[in-house]
Amino acid sequence: MTQPASDFIRQRIKQDLDSGLVEGAIVTRFPPEPNGYLHIGHAKSICLNFGVAEEFGGYTYLRFDDTNPLKESDTYVEAIQQDVAWLGFEWSDRLTNASDYFDALYARAVELIDGGKAYVCSLTGEEIRQSRGTLTEPGKESPYRGRSVEENRELFERMRAGEFADGEQVLRAKIDMASPNINMRDPVLYRIRHATHQRTGDKWVIYPMYDFTHCICDALEGITHSLCTLEFEDHRPLYDWVLDNINMNFHPPQIEFSRLGLEYTVLSKRLLSQLVTQGLVEGWDDPRMPTLAGLRRRGVTPGAIREFCRRVGVTKQDNRVEMSLLEFCIRRDLEGTVRRGMGVLNPLKVRISNYRDDGEVLEGPWHAQNPDLGRRELPFGAELYIEREDFTDAPPKKWRRLSPGALVRLRYAYIIRCDEVVRDARGEIQELVCSYIPESKSGSDTSGLKPNGVVHWVAADTAVAVEIRLYGRLFKVPDPGAATLVDDIDPASLTIRSGYVEPAIHHSDDDHFQFERLGYFFRDPERANTYNRTVSLRDSWKPG
């Protein structure tokens, strides 16, 4: 069923293996910066990196790209590990940090200085920006570009020793201020940051930049294929330049693919972080969030996410995948194995006038098509709740639910007829008075009656009152932008209902359920007696 993916990256790896360019194991890495929670876009990268290593017989590093102590923290480090493990991938002992290599990195920087390939620049940040040029104009060389090797070594050592304040000096690569690629216009390699690092503490006051760090870490770890997203394409020449200008006998190729785009949400740590910080959602694990923590809390399974990533594929094309594909993957993963029971989201009381309540307990399978899941007891009663939407005074054509005078089957129970609609002073429907057909009991129906349809229900005296949370799209538009983020939020994305579930659901050890006819629900791990709707069932009913 699940065919092995074959995208341009896997084809390339296969080719590298066949040609002997790469000998032995394929080594990849997933290198998040611990400055936020992982989202489903990261899942694509995780599935790719861990996936190819698995397929081609290799391994994958989980490497924290922790070169900026101002933005990073241990809480993210832990959350990221939890998410990757939850997705089902193992890094075993290959968990590394860019900061593990700070000493090696420093030595490499000195190597560059010694080779006349890097210099300490004393320009201010503003001056550097001014002299960088623009997209169409070349930059101007720094007046400090010609410093001697000795002077650079001394200055760099003093930077490391903490003799300068933040921003006073930087180490820059000496490349080409006229390069059409702005990344090559003497990029900053090291900056001064008097900040405590979550791992190295106060040992360092200078921290290496991404472009200098990443390629060297890749090489040191023997990464055979360094996979990253498209926005780093322009950085590849710099990645290569660094490795070409130090004495390194290993040079991974950087291969870029497009990031995942998903309708009606945002997939950028910056924007997601903003939603959390501004209190627009309840947290990183708000079930409306596309974060792995949010998806998990909503009830989305790792298998569904992996299948989604597989189906989305890996290319260099910009994309915005429809939510329906994710929903399909979720339903498919839950379909065969999750228990099915009854829950009522919007209760309407039904009184069965001719039923004598004697504690009758009915029974039904947990899954009509999967008997392995067993059966559960279903207490009946003279007072029930059905879904308010399952009754109407004015049934449209092909209405298969309840209406005055109509027959409907209560799932796994009896056929009932609606005899009377009781309303309050305002005309709101208060309750339905129905009669049941005693000989129509599910499994031994001798009534010969053909009801309109089947409706779910719970018995009023045994049902468990629960809170049910329904989630819609977080945004009103398919492509919410950074500029209009707040306005684009759909205030109706969360609906809280006071409903009921049958007792067997309440007492089950499972936490995933299908509420028949309504969708898949997940018991909230934090909030007691609360069920999150993971995804609704497909609904092809069109009135009219």
Partner RNA sequence: UGGGGAUUGGUGUAAUGGUAGCACGACUGACUCUGAAUCAGUUAGUAUAGGUUCAAAUCCUAUAUCCCCAGCCA
Contacts with RNA by CB under 7 A: the residue count is 89
Q: Decide if 379 contacts 358 (C-beta within 8 A).
A: no
User: Which position among 12, 33, 54, 383 bears the catalytic label?
Assistant: 33
Work out how close the CB of 276 gets to RNA at its nearest, in angstroms, rounded to a whole number: 17
Work out how close the CB of 76 gets to RNA at its nearest, in angstroms, rounded to a whole number: 12
392: nearest Cα among 370, 361, 411, 418:
418
- Scanning 296-304, 347-355, 362-370, 377-385 for contacts with RNA by CB under 7 A, the matching segment is 362-370
- Scanning 153-161, 186-194, 284-292, 298-306 for contacts with RNA by CB under 7 A, the matching segment is 186-194
Nearer residue to RNA within complex by CB, 400 or 512: 400
Residue 35, amino acid: N
Distance in Å from the first CA to the final CA of the chain: 38
What length is written for the chain?
A: 544
Residue 446 binds to RNA (criterion: CB under 7 A): no
Residues 69-128 that bind RNA (CB under 7 A): 71, 123-125, 128
The tokens of 517 are what?
């006819």
Dist CA 431 CA 178 (whole Å): 79
CA dihedral 266, 268, 274, 276 (to 10 degrees): 80
Q: Report the residue from 325, 477, 485, 494 that binds RNA according to the rule CB under 7 A.
A: 325
Dist CA 65 CA 54 (whole Å): 23
Dist CA 97 CA 61 (whole Å): 10
Q: Is 145 a catalytic residue?
A: no
Dist CA 9 CA 228 (whole Å): 11
Work out how close the CB of 446 gets to RNA at its nearest, in angstroms, rounded to a whole number: 11
* 408, β-bridge pairs: 416
Q: Is 332 a catalytic residue?
A: no
Dist CA 256 CA 48 (whole Å): 12
Q: Which residues does 176 contact at the CB level (< 8 Å), separation at least 6?
A: 184, 185, 186
Nearer residue to RNA within complex by CB, 135 or 425: 135
Dist CA 378 CA 502 (whole Å): 7
Dist CA 158 CA 440 (whole Å): 90
Residue 51 binds to RNA (criterion: CB under 7 A): no
Residue 158 binds to RNA (criterion: CB under 7 A): no
User: Which position among 147, 236, 269, 417 bears the catalytic label?
Assistant: 269
Q: Is 33 a catalytic residue?
A: yes
- Scanning 3-11, 467-475, 490-498, 527-535 for contacts with RNA by CB under 7 A, the matching segment is 3-11
The tokens of 35 are what?
């400055």
Nearer residue to RNA within complex by CB, 88 or 138: 138
Residues 236-255 that bind RNA (CB under 7 A): none
Q: Report the residue from 103, 114, 234, 487 that binds RNA according to the rule CB under 7 A.
A: 234
Residue 210 binds to RNA (criterion: CB under 7 A): yes
Interface mask toward RNA for 379-408; x: CB under 7 A: -------------------xxxx-------
Q: Report the residue from 434, 454, 459, 463 that binds RNA according to the rule CB under 7 A.
A: 454
Catalytic residues: 33, 259, 269
